Every structure is written in C-alpha cells, then in structure tokens.
C-alpha cells in the first residue's frame, strides 16, 4: 500500500515536472519567435503610439464630434451628420447611479478593481474562441471600449487590439475611474444618431435621463452592446430582452432587490420620440446604407449573399451586423465628406410621379401610413450610379421611414423574364426570330389572355409576355442556370426553394427589390455588364484625404480601358443587344404599348403577379434605367393593377420629364446570328 502511494507521488511529480518543462519550452519558443519575427518592434511602436495619444489627450477630446457632410451630384450639400455630444454631455455627478450600476454589472464587473485590462476575461475569450472556432464572448473592459471608441478605427487586427490595451492602461493611469465612466457614458453609441445616454434619453423618451425610471434607464443601457440588434425603433423586443437580462445581472450583483428586478421587467416600454425630430427621408436612408457598405468594403469586409449551411449564414450575419454597426456609428463622428451621385432634380420628379400616380388612393393603416405604396430607382447608364431613389409616397408622420426601394422584396411577375429566361437563352443560340410553340403546358401555367397562338417567334412571345414560352424555355435552360445570372448580379433574397419552374413567371419565395431590378435592366443596356448600384462616388476625411473611392471612379481616374470600366460581365454583348431590341418591341407593339417616350428610343418590360397584388415596370433609354413597383405593404389584390397601369404610367411620366431637352439616342444594334457564327468560324 505504501509503495503504491509512493509510486503515485512520484508519478504526480513527473507529470508536474513535464508540464512545467513544456510550458518553459513554449515560453522560450514564443519569446524567440516574438523577437525574431519582428513582433517586438511592432508592439514597441504600438506602445509608443498609445503613450502619445493619451499623453496629448485632455477632457475636451471626449466631448468632440466632427460634423460629416454629404454632397449631391451637383456639389450642393444634401445633409450634415452631426453628433449631439456637446449639447447633451453629462458630468459624472449628473449621471444616475442606475446607469453606472447597469453598465458595470453587465459590461465590466471588475471595473473598479482592474487597471484598464481584465486579463482573465481576455483569456476566457481566447479559450472560447478556440473552443467554438469564432469569437463568442468579449474580453474588453469599459476602459478598452472607450479607447476603441475615441482613439481607434474599427479595423479588426491583433495590432489594433494591442494598441487598445496600451491605451486603456494609460487612460487608467491618467484619469480617475469616475472620469473614465463619464467619458464612456457620453461617447458610446445608442443607435439612430444618438451618442451618449442623455441624447438617447431625449431621443427615445423625450425626457432627460434623470427623469427616467429604472426600467427605462436599463432599457437604454441595453442598446450600446449592439445598436443594430438592440435598436429600440426597429427591434424593440430584442432591446427588452436584453434589458431583462441586465436587470437579472444587477440583482445578482446585489445592486437591486429581486422584487425591484421583477417590477422593472414587467414594465411596458413606450417610446416617445422627440417632437419635430427630423425623419430619415429616402435619400438619407439610402446614402447611409451605401456609405456604410463603402466603409465596410474599404476596411476589407467581404460581402456574401449565398451560403453552404445555416451555421455559415448565421456566422456571417453576426459579422456583418457588427461591422455595419461600427461603420454606421462612425458616420456621425468622423467628419467624413461623402460625395454622391444623387440628382435632386430627378429625385423630386420621381417622388412627384409616384405621389401623383397614386394620389387617388388615400386609405391609411393603423399607423397612419398609406396602404397602397410605390417605389422607384433610377440609374445613370453612363456611370452606373444611382441618381434617384424613392422608397414610398410622400407623407408626414412620425416613425421609421421604410425605404421600399431597397428594403422591400416583392414578387416581380413577368418583369423578371428578360433577366432570368430570355437573355440566357439568347446566349445559347436563340434569336428574336427563333420559332417556339405557344401551346398549353400540362401542369403548367396558362397565358394571361387565355390565347395560344401555336408557332410564334421569341420576339412575339416577349412582346405578348407569353407564360407558356417562358416556362418551356426555363425548363430547357433549368432554373439553376437561370438563377445563376441573378446571383451574379447580387440579387440578395434568392432561396434554395426558388430552384423550380415557377420562377420563370416571377414566383419567388421572397422576391426582389426595385434597386435590384433597376441594376439588372441597366446591365442589359450596358452591353451585359453589371455594375453595383450605389450612390457613393468617394469619401474623404476632414483633411481631404481619400478614404474610399468606387471602382468606377477609380478606373476613370486611372484612364482604364472602357472594357475594364464597364463592370462584371453577366451576359454576352450580342445577347444583351438582342434582348434590348425585343424590349423595344414591347414598348411599341406589346404589353407596354402607349408608354413610349416619343422620339426617344426606349426598352422595357411589364410585370404583374397573381391576383394583381404587385405591379412592375422596368425600362431604359441610352441615358437612364428606371424600375417602378406598386403594391400594398401587406400584399392584397388591387383591381386593375398591372405592370402597364399604375407602374407603367408612373414610369412614362417620370422618364418623359427627365429626358426633356435630351437628344434621342438609338441603342446599339445587335449582330445577326449567322454573322456571329461566321465570325466565330473565321
């Protein structure tokens, strides 16, 4: 028995000795790699930078918020992004205790004990990262979060993390805990343009923070962890859920009683936005969206629209939300100069055309929003930039403005046929003169007019929007092949369930947006080359240094060849030209007859969904492409709604107005198929 104990003792000693030896060797190897790999010099430089930043700082830097400016295509100012730090800054003595307790209980329980960095929390985060294969929990203290918010960019690198740690340590050495908490509470982002707890209280409740009760206060404190996910306006349930978790944490820390926690959780939160608050308009929301994505792209974020698994998609969505939130918040404090392609004259005309076209429909929802809606997007075919974007009818009401131009996705009906079916089939040898059989399809669709004409040309099928032909051709092409063209043009809401024949007629699981449709039809006009639909030309900092420039602008500046500047090739040039020629026939003889633009050559396609729930018109000239959608936010039948009715007339009136005083320009003619074959043979 004694021998066994002795053996166990020696065995334990040797295991301990080997572990210590392994740790020593790892430490030695790590130290060698640290110096040999040049990391010592990099980290030393990061420390110097951090020392300099904090040394020159003073209390005024935590009150500073640069004003950002947005310019239209004519160079005139469209908007100023201005934070509200100065007017709503709170000194520590004026910050309610519950604000401090809430943040400490959830964000940094060791705030009053550490020196700026909680190394154990970082270690736990690293272990969790290795265990889960991704970052699942944070290790940043309140001081580190302040360092990141005020001094650093949103770039995700180990260098930035190290500098964040150095800055946090220096902040703790220079400022008191109360000062750091004061700086933190006044600088963090609460969504919707609000920086600091006082601005958030005024913005969401129309009260100062000291007038809010515990439940309302913690509700606000729930937002900064992820201002997009916990946005009180758009995702109120998420905000309430986090509020409740924070109240539980405050109870666990002994800051409030169980009864108080339960009462606060049961309280219903009713927002009261400030009277006279400026509602985001359609230009503003679209510029914000494009600018944020431009900044994300500049920082190396890779956009993705299709995924191999649900797990992959969820991981991407988390990363996207985090990056979007960080870049969005920088719009209000970084003083960017944002140059856009928005043409306010066109914007006004498009808004007027939609308002006038739907003015006879005055029914409103319980929220006071017009039930029947319309949206439209215009793209300059020379540059590929968006020049006008209208997300709904003009209306003066409080609340969030849904920009249907890019945020709503609806069934496109027959308007999708040129992009999904006909142009791909022309690439495969079909021509406008190819004969196809317009006959009933077993277990398939019927033609809208109930007429079957036997052998007809593809041009005639497009002109009359024959459902039978589109169905048969997609069956030959296959839905997977047809959808691949839409995927290449970044149609974002395609679903695996869409890989079936009904998509030939616009029967999608989710749908498409007016922005996507405009970009798709602009691709046809642009000889088959797709350009990302954005309104951001370039972004500069306050010193005039270039932060971001679009690919189109960059290529033009470099005097790149036209072929390189055209964008991403989706369709063969000749196929796109043939499609344009057939869509001209739609305007002159087909479903869009009477909607033409006089002497100005134009091409377009109507789209109507089952039961007349959605109406579309997408068309273009050499100058501009515009797509129009009309329907109810909650889909319902509108008698008389077709692509050629309200959407078509809106398109016609608007496009007529923006083409005044322009010289008619013909489309580039296509080459006959036999000539293409001859060229190929030679």
Structure-token match 């740690």, residue found: 165
- Residue 65 near residue 333, CB atoms below 8 Å: yes
- Residue 84 near residue 114, CB atoms below 8 Å: no
Q: What is the CA radius of gyration of the chain?
A: 30
∠312-315-317 over CA atoms, to 5°? 110
Residues 6+ apart with CB under 8 A from 229: 235, 238, 321
Collapse the DSSP code of 133 into the 3-class scheme (helix H, G, I; strand E, B; otherwise coil) and give the result: coil
For 661-676, letters b (16+ CB in 10 Å) and e give eeeeeebeebeebeeb
Distances (CA, A) of 379 to 79, 289, 620, 661: 21, 17, 9, 19
Catalytic residue among 57, 84, 107, 550: 107
Within 13 Å, how many C-alpha atoms sit on residue 670's CB side? Answer: 27
Q: Is 528 exposed, middle or buried (0-12, 13-18, 19+ CB in 10 A)?
A: buried
Catalytic residue among 57, 414, 513, 550: 414
Structure tokens belonging to residue 405: 């131009």
568-569 and 546-549: which strand pairing? unpaired
Count of beta carbons in the 10 Å neighbourhood of residue 36: 9
Count of beta carbons in the 10 Å neighbourhood of residue 429: 11
107 is catalytic: yes
What is the residue-wise DSSP string for 78-112? EEEE---HHHH---GGGS-HHHHHHHHHHH-TTTT
Torsion of CA 597, 598, 601, 603, to 10 degrees: 40
Spatial distance between the Cα atoms of 356 and 514, rounded to a whole number of angstroms: 19
Residues 6+ apart with CB under 8 A from 288: 280, 328, 331
Length of the chain (residues): 682
Structure tokens belonging to residue 475: 């069956």
Spatial distance between the Cα atoms of 137 and 122, rounded to a whole number of angstroms: 9
- Residue 183 near residue 150, CB atoms below 8 Å: yes
414 is catalytic: yes
Distances (CA, A) of 517 to 55, 218, 411, 413: 53, 43, 11, 12
Alpha carbon 488 to its chain centroid, in Å, reads 18
Count of beta carbons in the 10 Å neighbourhood of residue 640: 9
Residues 6+ apart with CB under 8 A from 174: 54, 55, 57
624-632 and 614-620: which strand pairing? antiparallel
Q: Crossing angle for the helix pair 177-187 and 158-174, nearest 10 degrees? A: 130
* Residues involved in catalysis: 107, 414
């Amino acid at each position: 028995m004694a021998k066994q104990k002795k053996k166990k003792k020696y065995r334990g000693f040797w295991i301990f000795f080997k572990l210590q030896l392994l740790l020593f060797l790892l430490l030695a190897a790590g130290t060698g790699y640290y110096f040999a790999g040049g990391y010592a010099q990099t980290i030393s430089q990061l420390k110097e930078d951090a020392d300099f930043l904090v040394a020159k700082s003073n209390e005024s830097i935590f009150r500073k918020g640069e004003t950002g400016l947005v310019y239209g295509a004519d160079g005139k100012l469209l908007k100023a992004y201005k934070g509200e730090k100065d007017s709503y800054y709170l000194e520590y003595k004026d910050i309610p205790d519950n604000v401090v307790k809430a943040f400490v209980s959830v964000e940094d329980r060791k705030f009053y004990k550490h020196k700026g960095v909680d190394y154990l929390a970082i270690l736990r985060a690293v272990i969790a990262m290795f265990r889960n294969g991704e970052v699942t929990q944070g290790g940043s203290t309140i001081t580190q979060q302040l360092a990141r918010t005020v001094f650093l960019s949103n770039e995700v690198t180990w260098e930035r993390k190290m500098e964040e740690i150095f800055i946090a340590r220096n902040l703790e050495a220079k400022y008191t805990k109360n000062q750091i908490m004061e700086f933190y509470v006044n600088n963090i982002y609460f969504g919707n343009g609000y920086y600091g707890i006082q601005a958030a209280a005024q913005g969401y409740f129309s009260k100062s923070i000291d007038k809010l009760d515990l439940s309302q206060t913690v509700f606000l404190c729930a937002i900064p962890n992820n201002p997009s996910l916990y946005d009180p306006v758009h995702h109120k349930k998420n905000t309430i859920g986090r509020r409740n978790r924070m109240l539980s944490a405050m109870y666990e820390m002994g800051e409030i009683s169980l009864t108080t926690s339960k009462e606060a959780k049961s309280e219903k939160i009713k927002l009261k936005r400030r009277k006279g608050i400026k509602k985001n308009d359609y230009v503003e929301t679209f510029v914000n969206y494009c600018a944020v994505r431009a900044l994300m792209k500049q920082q190396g974020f890779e956009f993705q629209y299709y995924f191999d698994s649900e797990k992959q998609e969820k991981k991407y969505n988390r990363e996207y939300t985090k990056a979007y939130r960080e870049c969005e918040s920088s719009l209000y404090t970084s003083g960017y100069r944002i140059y856009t392609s928005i043409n306010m004259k066109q914007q006004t005309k498009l808004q007027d055309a939609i308002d006038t076209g739907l003015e006879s429909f005055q029914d409103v929802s319980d929220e006071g929003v017009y039930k029947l809606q319309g949206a439209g997007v215009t793209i300059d075919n020379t540059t590929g930039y968006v020049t006008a974007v209208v997300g709904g009818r003009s209306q003066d009401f409080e609340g969030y403005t849904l920009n249907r131009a890019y945020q709503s996705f609806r069934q496109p009906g027959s308007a999708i046929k040129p992009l999904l079916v006909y142009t791909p089939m022309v690439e495969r040898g079909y021509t406008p003169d190819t004969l196809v059989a317009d006959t009933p399809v077993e277990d398939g669709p019927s033609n809208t007019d109930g007429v079957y004409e036997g052998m007809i040309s593809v041009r005639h099928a497009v002109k009359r929007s024959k459902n039978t032909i589109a169905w048969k051709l997609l069956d030959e092409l296959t839905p997977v092949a047809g959808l691949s063209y839409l995927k290449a043009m970044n149609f974002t809401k395609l679903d695996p369930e869409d890989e079936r024949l009904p998509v030939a007629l616009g029967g999608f699981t989710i749908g498409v947006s007016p922005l996507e449709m405009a970009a798709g039809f602009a691709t046809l006009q642009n000889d088959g080359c797709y350009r990302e639909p954005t309104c951001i030309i370039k972004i500069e900092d306050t010193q005039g240094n270039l932060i971001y420039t679009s690919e189109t602008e960059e290529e033009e500046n470099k005097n790149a060849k036209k072929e390189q500047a055209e964008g991403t090739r989706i369709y063969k040039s000749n196929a796109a030209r043939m499609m344009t020629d057939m869509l001209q026939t739609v305007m002159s003889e087909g479903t869009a007859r009477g909607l033409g633009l006089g002497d100005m050559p134009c091409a377009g396609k109507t789209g109507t969904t089952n039961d007349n729930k959605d109406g579309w018109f997408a068309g273009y000239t050499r100058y501009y492409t515009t797509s129009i959608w009309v329907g109810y936010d909650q889909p319902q039948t509108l008698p008389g709604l077709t692509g050629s009715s309200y959407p078509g007339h809106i398109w016609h009136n608007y496009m007529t107005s923006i083409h005044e005083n322009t010289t008619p320009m013909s489309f580039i003619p296509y080459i006959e198929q036999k000539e293409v074959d001859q060229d190929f043979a030679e």
